[in-house]
Amino acid sequence: MRSFGIRTILVALLATASASSVAYADSGTVRISVLKGGWFIGASGGSGTLTFHGRRYPLSIGGLSAGLVFGASQTYLNGTVTNIRSPSDVAGVYGAGGAGAAVGRGVSAIVLSNEKGAILTMQGRQTGLMVNADLSGLAISLR
Q: What is the pLDDT of residue 53?
A: 95
- Stretches where the chain sits below pLDDT 50 are 11, 17-22
Spell out the domain ranges in the chain: 25-142
Q: What is the pLDDT of residue 98?
A: 58
Q: What is the pLDDT of residue 16?
A: 52
DSSP string, the chain: -HHHHHHHHHHHHHHHHHHHHHHT-EEEEEEEEEEEEEEEEEEEEEEEEEEETTEEEEEEEEEEEEEEEEEEEEEEEEEEEEEESSGGGG-EEEEEEEEEEEEEEEEEEEEEE-TT--EEEEEEEEEEEEEEEEEEEEEEEE-
The CATH fold of domain 25-142: Lipocalin (2.40.128)
Q: What is the pLDDT of residue 21?
A: 45
Structure pTM?
0.74
